[in-house]
Amino acid sequence: MKNLVVADNIKRIIKSKGLKQKSIAKQMGMREQKFSDMLNNRNSIKACDIVKLMKILNVSANELFHPYETERIQDDES
C-alpha cells in the first residue's frame, strides 16, 4: 500500500513540475522502462531510489510518503 502512495505522489509531483518521466529516469541512471515499472508497481521502489528522487524533484520525504489529500486542499480554499 505504501509503495502505491509513494508511486502516485512521484507521478503527481513530476506532472505538477512539468517534467517528463524519461528525463527523471535518465537523471536517476536507470532505463525509462525500469522507472515506469517502478511507478506502476511492477518493481519495488528502493530506499536509494527515494533519496535520488528527493534530490532530483527537490521534495521532502513527507511529500513522497504521505497521501495527497485533495479534499483538504479543497476545504482550505473554501
pLDDT digits (tens, 9 = 90+) for 16-61: 999 999 999 999 999 999 999 999 999 999 999 999 999 999 999 9
Phi, psi (rounded to 5 degrees) for 18: 70, 30
**Of 16, 56, 18, nearest in space to 35 by CA:** 56
Kindly state the cell numbers that stand for 39.
511507478
Which domains does the chain show, CATH number per domain?
A: 2-77 (1.10.260.40)
* Angle at CA of residue 74, ends 50 and 57, nearest 5°: 20
The pTM of the full predicted model, rounded to 2 decimals, is 0.80
Contact (CB, 8 A) for 63 and 53:
no
What's the confidence (pLDDT) of residue 72? 45
